[in-house]
Amino acid sequence: MPDTTNLEPPEKSSARARILRTAHDLFYRDGVRATGVDALIATAGVTKVTFYRHFPSKDDLILAYLNYRHELWMTWFVDALARHRRAQSRAKRERSPLAPAALALAEWIRDPAFRGCAFINVVAEFGDHFPRAVEIAGAHKRDVTAAITPLLDSSRGAQALARAAAIAIDGAIVRAQADDESAGIALAGLNDLLDALTASARTPRHRAEAEPTETAPRNQHRAG
């Protein structure tokens, strides 16, 4: 992930932008529940009146944080996927199409500011007690899958393979949070899983291409 200190939220009000950027940094680093409004106000350098003018409740700020984090992270992730894919040879792309995803994750997980997935963290903190936050988290995960899908060929199984890869990525993110050793284990395991997914996806397709498709006898009754 890039350094966020020089990235302004797309807001017209500088006070609102400052509050949102502060919330982004503190919520991600320390957790949403652990970060109080007083700490946000003090760190952002605004008054309570200004804070509540822009965000009438902490819930409003949490939702704004999640939307901002989504835009920031997805911009980075899509760019990272493209960079690593461009660096692959054609043979490497065909052999390991999901490698750019693993390389992008390695960049992020090795960043000293890494604290896991903001969306997984929020769902873990609130569960179904904050449905709107859960909805944003779900949309984020769908967009991650959509970003991975173009790495694969246009076969009918590409979307299912991208979903499986996204699940493997989530597992690696959670595993990597424990310590530096866990991060290495998580990244190695992610590479193995993505290679295995790619290999398993090839096998049935190749078998289908090699074997003739059987047709049902003409006198067989159709169900329905």
Residue 78: Cβ-neighbour burial (10 angstroms; 0-12, 13-18, 19+): middle
Q: Please determine, looking at this structure, whether the domain spanning 57-204 carries the CATH number 1.10.357.10.
A: yes
What pLDDT was estimated at residue 156?
A: 65
Q: Where are the domains of the chain?
A: 13-56, 57-204
| pLDDT over 80 at 8, yes or no | no
| pLDDT over 80 at 159, yes or no | yes
- Give the global pTM: 0.84
Average pLDDT, the chain: 88
Q: How far apart are CA 167 and CA 185, in angstroms?
A: 17
The reply to whether 13-56 and 57-204 are identical in fold is no
What pLDDT was estimated at residue 157?
A: 86
What pLDDT was estimated at residue 9?
A: 53
Q: Please determine, looking at this structure, whether the domain spanning 13-56 carries the CATH number 1.10.10.60.
A: yes
pLDDT in tens, 28-39: 999 999 999 999
